Chain A
Amino acid sequence: MNTTSPLSLRGVLGAASLGLLLSAGTAMSQVIDLEGETVTIVHNAAPGGSTGLSSQVLADVWAQTMEGNPTIVVQSVEGGALTRGIQQVMNSRPDGLTIGYVAWQGTTRILDPEELQIPFQDAGIIGGIGGAAFFTHVDAEVAADGDAFANLESLRFGGFSPRSAPSMQMAGVLDLLGVDWSFVSGMGGDGPLRAAMERGEIEAYPATVSIYLQDLRDGPIAAGETTGIYHIGRIDEDGAEQPIEAFGGAFPTVTEYLAAQLGETPSGPIWDMIMFHSEASAPVNWLVMAPPGTSEEHLAMLRESFAEAVQSPEYLEAATNVFGGEPNIVLYEQMLDIVNTVQNTPEELRETMRAYIAEMEG
């Protein structure tokens, strides 16, 4: 005979639920014990490229600094124009077992349709890594130096897509110089762009510091076949552009170059667009984040261990191999500022970028 009344059963279930909720709440507010666990770093690009390699390099070092020393594996979740990997992290449980290392393209992603927007501010932001600084690489037969470049009547330059920030910046600089330009899209990466320039399909392109150090500096630039005009520098706390050390002073920053060519410091909406990308896009290629809902205590541990990992000599050495130069480390506070800046981009700036994209699409 069943002696348990429905009321008492309900009471037991209720008490059990309350107990579960309380214990879950307690667990949520603590650093999650990761000892013996496998943490997955999800990145949103194809395996093998700089995203995959640099996330692996980070995983190897971070496993040593993260509390509990979990095993960290890297998983590629590509697709959806980089959104699939980001969404996977955003939709993961905040159980400490998933971390995102995502190419975020924040400054141009804000131009996407509503359904593709990502509320990065809701994620548990940990930090960011920047590996790519760009300079303008030109066929020397087209422009042998900066003066000749500024006096060009027209220029055909290449890039991956009209939405890429370095291409948009280059178009903006050409407009400020009064050079008529056309854009050739469809060439992803330094290799295809350089081959296209050697074939004469394009006359210039934004090249990375990595390929500059690895090949261009001592190769075609040293041989006088090609040249560099200016580079996109780093924006400091005062909003001033500082040179990237890896270029070794070979080319001026875009601010210095334009000031010299125009006779005054540039200003206006085009310049604002160029600086916006420099400030918000250039420092960070990869946003490191935890799923929304991760407890502050756990996030604090992740931020601390991330900072320790990315500033360790072991990481810097390995990352330098991947990027061809030392990476730009962005810690939590700065990353949060960047995310907020991007999410609050003024409408006028968005319109300027949309206009450029439309023009680059022809």
Chain B
Amino acid sequence: MLQSFFDGLVLIVSFPAILYLFAGILLGLWLGIVPGLGGVTGMVILLPFTFGMEPAPALAMLLGLFAVVSTSDTVSSVMLGIPGTIASQATVLDGHQMAKRGLAQTALGAAFFCSAFGGVLGGIAMALSLPIALWIILAFGSPEFFLLSLLGLVMVGAVSGNAVSKGIGAAALGLLLSQIGYPVASSTPRYWFGNPDLLDGLPLVPIFLGLFGIPEMMELAARRTSIAHIGDTRAENDSLLQGVREAMKNKWLAIRCSLLGVYTGMLPGIGSAVVDWLAYGHAVQSAKDRSQFGKGDIRGVIGPESANNAVLGGSLIPTLAFGIPGSGAMAILLGALTIHGFAPGRSMLETNLDVTYSMVWTIIIANLIGAAVLAVWGRQVARAAFIDGNLVVPAVIMFIFMGSWLWQPSMFTWIVLLSVGLFGYLMKTGGWPRPPFILGFVLGPIMENAMSITYQSYTPLEVIQRPTVLILLAVVSVVFFLAVKQTRKRLSDFNIEITRESRGSLYLSSLMAVIMCVVFAVAIWLALDWTPLSRITPIFVGIMGLITMAFVIGSDFTKQRRFARAEDGEAGGTIGGFLAENRSELAIFAMIAVMVAATPWIGTYAAVIAFAAFFMKFWGRYSLLWTAVYSFGIWVVLYVLYDRMLHTRFEPPFFL
């Protein structure tokens, strides 16, 4: 085995594999920075080129690319408040707040260091776990998967801050929306209303880009400032090295979250979409002082960033050992292995062990180089926080919309993105935490799949006789108990969404709760006639949602009365004042909505470029020359990147 380990290193460092590895790393770094692109896009582009290559360079390039995406995606999360990829959603919460406070370099320094650390640890853990990989995978059956998903859901409490009932309600809504489309055990689609676009459920990429990206851009444009609003200077002590020091200070958190990443990665389907939230939840739960979470706590960056790079090492194990790709990227890697004549299974752990170890080395080397490159470049990146926001918004809106379009090229995708964007803004304004919604949406199908297989394959007695089930039940119970205890003691005294509570925000919150009540009630009613396995989850989620909404409405009502009793008549502001406060954001949203509405008429090119030009000229008040130059730049990106390189099929104008 040791011989194979070093043979694997030789495969990677020999020429030309090392060159391809570097090429993959550079491409991966770039793909991670641009919101909506990500590693899967890169692997799709590169895969055809690898058909004629030797296996080692081909795998080095693909894996090298993918390994560093979850390092560079931090840049977008921290600087723009938009997750670069799905793996860096949780970093947005505190990372972006740090950038707003002028601490972008510190956040990036900690993130790059932890990403490299997590990635290397993930690679090493993968190498060490190979001898017991089959045992680990086989030990986790469907009942265990269900409990692990449940554990993820229990984290809702930790990522809800002091708005626990709204957090549970948001998670319930996420779970309910994840039920759209074909269920696991039935051939009758749910909640599709005759629209084929809904048959496979709502697409994930527009959901997370819309939920975080659009509200952030609406606010940035409305603020008419740079991302950092502390003036044109950095906060004291802001440096990459300071970030590294902070990471070192929290080394045990980084180690725990890295290991969490490795072992979550081993569980197909759970992986990168959830692990950063699990790590964030763990960072919150294990902290003594939680007051700064959501406002720019460095631990909110260290936890997720340590975990999301470690996932890759773990996720390779089921891919190689069983041919179970837990994610889109792993499916592509599996395809590359197949093309080169490697079959997943025992051969990858026996006769082709050197190739397997070459992947371990690729992960380790790529993570170290990726973090080093970004660290060198980090100072310049951090300066972006001081660029005029009006220059940032149109370009980022283009990347968000085109990034979503890339995954599913249809107007339906943009409508989902736009709707979720508005919903995200309303959630933020109404004090509803957004992370639980994503957790529910991602975990819903995993939970239902595991529950369905468990129901079909096991008797109740068989389930409770499994030692791993008993251990996980104990873990879930302890975590749940601690979460309840902390909530009761009001220890979670921190806001995930920084919202000034006012009469207007409370009315908005109550209105959302009432609408959600209707949604949950209708969802239950529609599900009544379905087969048992199809209806159990939506009905259960619907009932939970209704109960939670009652709490939310009651709580909002109590707060309204408190404002009414206050001697100061202006306490809590007025409804008119609230609307006036949000007027600019809604104007930006209207501009984006017009762009979407115009696309089927004038085509993608014209709509996106017209939005950019209109925004620059009339909102940013730039000169005609600047507007023209900027709009030309948008056209170049659309044409070169999305049209020629990614072969995106644009919406044509109606007359073509």
Contact = CB atoms under 8 A, between A and B. Distances in A.
A162 B531 CA distance: 13
A84 B197 contact: yes
A229 B454 CA distance: 26
A156 B335 contact: no
Central interface residue in B51, B137, B331, by most chain A CB within 10 Å: B331
A74 B44 CA distance: 10
Contacts of B142: 201
B452 interface: yes
Interface string B319-357: 000111100100111110011110111110000000000
Interface stretch (A16-24, A52-60, A134-142, A251-259): A52-60
Given A81-B182, A81-B200, A361-B186, A183 B339 contact: no
Interface string A192-223: 10111011111000000001001100010000
A111 B188 CA distance: 11
Contacts of B653: none
20 contacts: A38-B647, A47-B43, A56-B48, A59-B48, A74-B48, A75-B647, A80-B197, A81-B189, A81-B200, A83-B196, A116-B199, A156-B457, A190-B323, A191-B322, A199-B138, A201-B142, A324-B338, A324-B343, A361-B187, A362-B533
Contacts of A40: 647, 649
A87 interface: yes
Central interface residue in A84, A190, A357, by most chain B CB within 10 Å: A84
A313 interface: no
A115 B185 contact: no
Given A161-B184, A321-B338, A361-B533, 18 more contacts: A56-B48, A78-B408, A79-B200, A80-B199, A84-B410, A115-B196, A161-B187, A185-B456, A187-B453, A191-B323, A199-B138, A199-B141, A201-B453, A215-B323, A215-B345, A215-B347, A321-B341, A361-B186
Contacts of A318: 51, 339
A172 to B, nearest CB: 17
Nearest to B449: A186
Given A79-B408, A201-B458, A214 B345 contact: yes
Contact of A162 (B185, B268, B343, B649): B185
Interface residues of B, number: 58
A59 B408 CA distance: 21
Given A83-B199, A84-B197, A184-B456, A48 B43 contact: yes
A227 interface: no
A215 B344 contact: yes
Contacts of A195: 137-138, 318, 322, 324
Central interface residue in A53, A77, A182, by most chain B CB within 10 Å: A53
Given A38-B647, A49-B331, A162 B323 contact: no
A163 B187 contact: yes
A117 B584 CA distance: 46
Contacts of B346: 215, 219
Contact of B343 (A48, A73, A215): A215
B325 to A, nearest CB: 8
A194 B318 CA distance: 12
A186 B40 contact: no
Nearest to B336: A48
B640 to A, nearest CB: 15
Contact of B345 (A182, A196, A219): A219
B194 interface: yes
A46 interface: yes
Nearest to A59: B48
Interface in A152-183: 156, 161-163, 182-183
Contacts of B409: 77
B452 A185 contact: yes
B231 interface: no
A219 B134 CA distance: 14
Interface string A79-104: 11101100110000000000000000
A116 B532 CA distance: 24
B138 to A, nearest CB: 5
Nearest to A164: B187
Contacts of B200: 78-81
Contact of B47 (A47, A75, A79, A190): A47
B452 A186 contact: yes
Top 5 closest pairs, chain A to chain B, by CB: A48-B332, A214-B343, A191-B323, A215-B345, A191-B324
Contact of A182 (B181, B340, B449, B456): B456
A80 B180 CA distance: 11
A362 B532 contact: yes
Given A183-B456, A201-B142, A48 B331 contact: yes
A28 B309 CA distance: 53
A123 interface: no
B203 interface: yes
A215 B182 CA distance: 31
Contacts of B199: 79-81, 83, 116
A194 B51 CA distance: 28
A206 to B, nearest CB: 16
Interface in A292-321: 318, 321
Nearest to A162: B187
Interface of A: 38, 40, 46-50, 52-53, 56-57, 59-60, 73-81, 83-84, 87-88, 111, 115-116, 156, 161-163, 182-187, 189-192, 194-196, 198-202, 211, 214-215, 219, 318, 321-322, 324, 357, 361-362
B322 A321 contact: no
Interface in B338-388: 338-341, 343-347
A185 B457 contact: no
A187 B332 CA distance: 19
B323 A211 contact: yes
A163 B138 CA distance: 27
Central interface residue in A48, A77, A189, A361, by most chain B CB within 10 Å: A48
A362 B344 contact: no
A75 B333 CA distance: 18
A274 to B, nearest CB: 19
A286 B452 CA distance: 30
A87 B196 contact: yes
B532 A52 contact: no
Nearest to B201: A79
B647 A73 contact: yes
A345 B334 CA distance: 37
B323 A56 contact: no
A277 to B, nearest CB: 15
A183 B453 CA distance: 10
A1 B51 CA distance: 68
B338 A322 contact: yes
A53 B335 contact: yes
A97 to B, nearest CB: 10
Given A38-B647, A75-B647, A195-B138, A202 B457 contact: yes
B44 A48 contact: yes
A252 B138 CA distance: 31
A296 B338 CA distance: 37
Given A183-B456, A185-B185, A191-B322, A84 B345 contact: no
A150 B576 CA distance: 76
Given A47-B332, A84-B197, A321-B341, A76 B453 contact: no
B182 A161 contact: yes
Nearest to A190: B323
Contacts of A192: 268, 322, 324
Contacts of A163: 187
Contacts of B341: 321
Given A38-B647, A81-B189, A76 B44 contact: yes
A186 B453 contact: yes
Contacts of B331: 46-49
Given A185-B184, A189-B323, A191-B322, A80 B196 contact: yes
A76 B44 CA distance: 10
A81 B195 CA distance: 11
A48 B51 contact: no
Nearest to B189: A81
B196 A84 contact: yes
